[in-house]
Structure 1
Amino acid sequence: MSAGAPRGAGGRGGGMRASLSGLTTRGRSFLAAGIAAAVCAYVLGQGALLRVGLLLALLPLLCVYALHRTRYRVSGSRRLTPGRVPAGAEARVQLRMDNTSRLPTGLLMLQDRVPYVLGPRPRFVLDRVEPGGRREVSYRVRSDLRGRYPLGPLQLRLTDPFGLVELTRSFSAFDTLTVIPRTEPLAPVRLSGESSGYGDGSRRSLALAGDDDVIPRGYRRGDDLRRVHWRSTARYGELMVRREEQPQRSRATVLLDTRQLAFEGAGPDSAFEWAVSAAASSLVHLLEQGYAVRLLTDTGDCVPGLGGGGFSSGGHESAEAAGLMMDTLAVVGHSDGTGLTRAYDAVRGGGGGFGEVGGDGLLIAFFGDLDDVQTDLAAKMRQRTGGAVAFVLDSATWAGQPARDHALPSVEQRLHRLRDAGWTALAAPPGAAFGELWRRAGSTAFGTGTPGGRG
């Protein structure tokens, strides 16, 4: 929720000049008529006409002064719910105006600035607001394009009861609407025989709660004395306690190819947008299944971060990591890279990668166009992972255009080489439902579907 008061000019004199510029045609006419009447009264020596002229001239000036002071007595706020929505979904924006002065306001017009992609600019007319009163209005925004869109500043148009002055003030507060990629629910399939997020197939690691471990550790303040390991205490000459353990979460990496040269076309129905949406669906599904997940791009950048190899943690931190990954996908664009070398290093390298966890991590990859060199490099990523599933897109087919580079291997050739390296590789045709491809990947991995997968 954002709130604030209208922004004023840099100084009092500058603000008054800006207020004078808000005189309407009626106000300027009153001022001109008053000045003319005062001049005529002075020339003709008519005192009554002079009083009329002064009244006509002073009335718009008094209205200017009143509105100039009113701008500091009105506060506005905006509430955006929710702040993160999938593409195509609506968010609700609620505006509230509070009259904090002791005087009623005149007619008010609210206008909120929104990007064109979110819809038309909302405008509202508010009647007189009593002292201490409040008015609330709302509108909805939606976008079919992912991204981060600013909302604001809120603009307030003030008018006096006589319609002589009309001033527009802008509030300083902004809000940001994050439109994340569309996701679809995925079936809980097993891919290449990897263990589930938790369970009998999971390894066990040292932690702070769970069953006893035979390896003791030094006593720490607050440890339960019932966990003292007396044999080790006698051996080491200091108080030792039994360690505890808990199941370690299986790890999964979602690799998204973002290279500009690997994709053609743009818009919600392009190959790249399909890959982004499918990657988001995979991330959400794997997190729901209990995996520690990271998002990796061809640039080698990991999300949520470098700690633990970029993998998400459990509990509240996992929810934060999910939000961070979805925010990243909301704004991810094409990279200028020409190859997958950095992604290969991130998958095969250390720093919390698969090599540290015994090589049983799951790799889900979304590839655009691959030449011979990049196809071989992608195939080698499979060697130290417990399971690898690739969804390969041919961007020229998606764009309905002839291939840009006839030297590129065909989709069938790319799939064959990936499968020979042990990948479960599937082609993603234009407009394909990712949920169906996901189920096919699960059945192919165990040899019950389309041939080519290896467990």
Structure 2
Amino acid sequence: MAASGPAAADGAGTGGDGRGGESRGGGVRAALDGLTTRGRSFLAAGVAAVICAYVLGQGDLLRVGLLLAVLPLVCVVVLYRTRYRVVAGRRLGPQRVPAGAEARVHLRMDNVSRLPTGLLMLQDHVPYVLGPRPRFVLDRVEAGGRREVSYRVRSDLRGRYPLGPLQLRLNDPFGMCELTRSFSAYDTLTVVPRTEPLPPVRLAGDAPGYGDGRQRALAVAGDDDVIPREYRYGDDLRRVHWRSTARYGELMVRREEQPHRARCTVLLDTRAVAYQGGGPDSAFEWAVAGAASVLVHMLERGFEVRLLTDTGGALLGEGSDGFVGATQDSADAAGLLMDTLAVVDHSDGLGLSRAYDVLRLGSEGLLVAFVGDLDEEEAAVAARMRQRSGAAVAFVLDSGAWLSGGAVPGPAEDSVRRLREAGWTALAVAPGASLAELWRYAGHTRMESGAPGGGTTGSSGGWS
């Protein structure tokens, strides 16, 4: 859970001590502006009664008018002069949720003054996509007391949504005046793409991650071939290399064999011209969710992964090549990638040439692409991307079919055919298709044919 720091607010019109950055009141004028409809009505009726009493010479009516006019003003003064302080906090659990899932927001209100509060109303600001604005009424909070309330938020759309600031409304017992104080603290809810668990299929070639087909970066063939390094706290003393220790004058240990981790690049086509329509059920959102599912699946299988877009930039990465997972925990790397995909949007690009320039300079590995509508030129560029990958899988979405809810028409099939001829394992994605089923089918297709789409077998890149 994520918790915001405490924020303080003062019940008086001059504001509080500033902890948490609460808003300041505007003095007596702000208090008079806080008169409710009831308070303004009482004040207007009182003034009218006083005028009528003066014109008609009615003493009793004058007393009634004064009572009606003075009552809301007394409530303003009492509410303005009441000195009590409250501290608010917010806990968000969880801070990162998939699209369509609910998160619960816990609000805590502490009265740190010596006086009990009057009627309080809490209101938290939330974006409209998360649901209605929550409001809570607290009748009375004793001195040193605490109240906790909670509400749920939910969004079908990806994004980062601010929660807060929290507003506190103070009311007098008669409902004549209402003052509003705002806390400055807020939290951020990250709605990430929905991920789908993928089956453990495998293509012909090397085993993934640290499997049997892994390559060794260093080989220990004998005592003379050892590449030593400096001793680090926690190293096994049995690995001390005494010959190097005597040579360098400091404790040296044998370097362990370093496995070469398999790599996977996920290409996400974000071109605005490649997709039609919008919303949680659009083709673009399916592509984003598919990319998220593949990234998480590959991290769990021990791959280093990279998220690449049509703009040619890796959206997140530890090094210049943009791959993650080498030095991070897979869960942490997946969380960072999900945060990145939560805010990915359409690009203004018209082609895939920038992504091709990045891929042709990189090392061989698995390439998984999620692409939208492709014309002949862009289909040819995508076909050439296969040359530098060990295995290549493409999911082609026809946004027109997704927009109409019909079957995948000819243009998408033409792109699939071109990619298969270039050595891709290419699949057309129908509206509402399951990525897990397509993933399994792609693996079986390559295992049976020996190459995607019946083409020639490429370099031995395995995937799982």
TM-score (norm 2): 0.83
Partner of residue 5, structure 1: 8
Match of 1:387 in 2: 391
Answer yes or no: is 1:340 the counterpart of 2:317.
no
Q: Which residue of 2 aligns with 1:438?
A: 439
| Residues 20-39 of structure 1: pairs in structure 2 closer than 5 A | 20-28=32-40
Structure 2, unmatched stretches of 5+, are 16-22, 459-464
Q: In the TM superposition, what is the alpha-carbon distance from 1:40 to its structure 2 partner?
A: 10
Q: C-alpha distance in 1, partners of 2:229/2:24?
A: 69
Match of 1:141 in 2: 153
Structure 1 residue aligned with 2:367, among 357, 363, 366? 363
SS at match of 1:252: strand
Q: One-letter code of the match for 1:136?
A: E
Q: Distance in 2 between matches of 1:426 and 1:229?
A: 54
1:112 to 2:114 alignment: no
Q: Is the 8 A contact 1:251 1:293 kept in 2?
A: yes
Q: What is the aligned counterpart of 2:225 among 214, 224, 234?
A: 214
Deviations 1:303-323 (A, max 9, x none): 323515111134645433322
Distance (Å, rounded) in 1 between the aligned partners of 2:25 and 2:55: 33
Q: Hey, what's the Cα distance between the residues in 2 that align with 1:426 and 1:400?
A: 20
Question: Which is further off, 24-33 or 136-145?
Answer: 24-33
Q: Alpha carbons of 1:245 and 1:132: their partners in 2 closer, same or farther (altered >3 Å)?
A: same
Alpha-carbon contact 1:260-1:334 (below 8 Å) kept:
yes
Cα distance in 2 between the residues matched to 1:212 and 1:127: 80
Distance in 1 (alpha carbons) for counterparts of 2:359 and 2:224: 31
Decide which moves more: 436-445 or 301-310: 301-310
Cα deviations by residue, 1:260-317 (Å, 9 ceiling, x for unpaired): 1111111112111111111111111111111111111111121323515111134645
Residues 3-152 of structure 1 correspond to what in structure 2 (within 5 A)? Answer: 3-6=6-9, 14-28=26-40, 60-70=72-82, 73-152=85-164
Give, in angstroms, the shift of residue 429 of structure 1.
1.3
Further displaced range: 48-57 or 390-399: 48-57
1:427 aligns with: 428
Q: Which moved more, 1:283-292 or 1:367-376?
A: 367-376
CA contact (8 A) 2:299 2:325 kept: no
Matches within 5 A, 1:303-342: 303-305=315-317, 307=319, 309-314=321-326, 316-342=328-354
Asked if structure 2 preserves the Cα contact closer than 8 Å seen for 1:260 and 1:337, the reply is yes
> 1:289 & 1:12 partners in 2: Cα distance?
54
Shift of 1:258: 0.3
Residue 379 of structure 1, CA deviation: 1.4
Q: Is the 8 A contact 1:194 1:387 kept in 2?
A: no
Q: Give the residue type in structure 1 aligned to 2:8.
A: A
RMSD: 3.7
Matched, 1:167 2:171: no
Segments of structure 1 that go 5 or more residues without pairing to the other structure are none
Q: Percent identity over the alignment?
A: 71
Give the C-alpha shift of residue 213 in structure 1.
9.5
One-letter code aligned to 1:452: G
Contact 1:60–1:165 (8 Å) recurs in 2: yes
- The alignment status of 1:452 with 2:454, answered yes or no, reads yes
| Aligned partner of residue 303 in structure 1, secondary structure | coil
- Return the offset for 1:365: 0.6
**Distance in 1 between residues matched to 2:46 and 2:427, nearest whole Å:** 82
| Structure 1 SS opposite 2:337 | helix
Go from structure 1 to structure 2 and tell me whether the alpha carbon gap of 1:193 and 1:126 turns closer, same or farther (over 3 Å shift). Answer: same
The C-alpha deviation readout for 1:167-210, integer Å capped at 9, x for no partner, is 22222122111111111110011135342111221123369xxx
| SS class of match (2:454) | coil
